[in-house]
Amino acid sequence: MTTTGSSNDDNYARALDTAEHLLGFRLETFLEAASSEPANAADFKRIATVHAFGDSWPRTDLLDTRSRALVSVAATAALGIHEPLRGQLRIALNSGVTPDQIVEAFIHLAAYAGVARAFDSYAIAAQVFAERADVDAAD
């Protein structure tokens, strides 16, 4: 069942704005439901977006955005979930985490999540670093 209302709509809009600020692009195109998806897929995507970008990321009183970004890189890398890792790497770089600090996190990750997982996830980091270098070179 889809819940609607101005409060839910406002929370979702704020979450989407936060995601854009962190990622550098709007998420709406990734959140559109395909015709093959059940009706409640839109609820899942809205709830997950509000939870992550509306409830968690704005909590900067005790853990700043830069630190939260590095934690998110480590968590997604340790889990081996590559597309979310790609987004978390972009957020980290956009939040002031340096590539050297990200590599250092992977060194530490290898000790606790395993070398194979760290290498596998680091391949995504290397792609994001290259992507970023291409954009910087074009500017």
Contact yes or no for 123/111 (Cβ under 8 A): no
Model pTM score: 0.87
pLDDT digits (tens, 9 = 90+) for 16-44: 999 999 999 999 988 988 899 998 999 99
Report percent pLDDT > 70 for the chain: 96
The CA distances from residue 45 to 49, 54, 122, in Å, are 6, 13, 27
What would the mean pLDDT of 57-75 be, rounded to a whole number? 97
Q: What is the pLDDT of residue 1?
A: 46
Mean pLDDT (whole number) for 113-121: 97
Quickly count: other Cβ atoms within 10 Å of residue 99's Cβ.
16
Burial class (CB within 10 angstroms; exposed 0-12, middle 13-18, buried 19+) of 75: middle
Mean pLDDT of the chain: 93
Q: What is the pLDDT of residue 5?
A: 61
**What pLDDT digit, counting tens, does each position of 73-99 carry?**
999 999 999 999 999 999 999 999 999
CA dihedral 42, 48, 52, 55 (to 10 degrees): 90
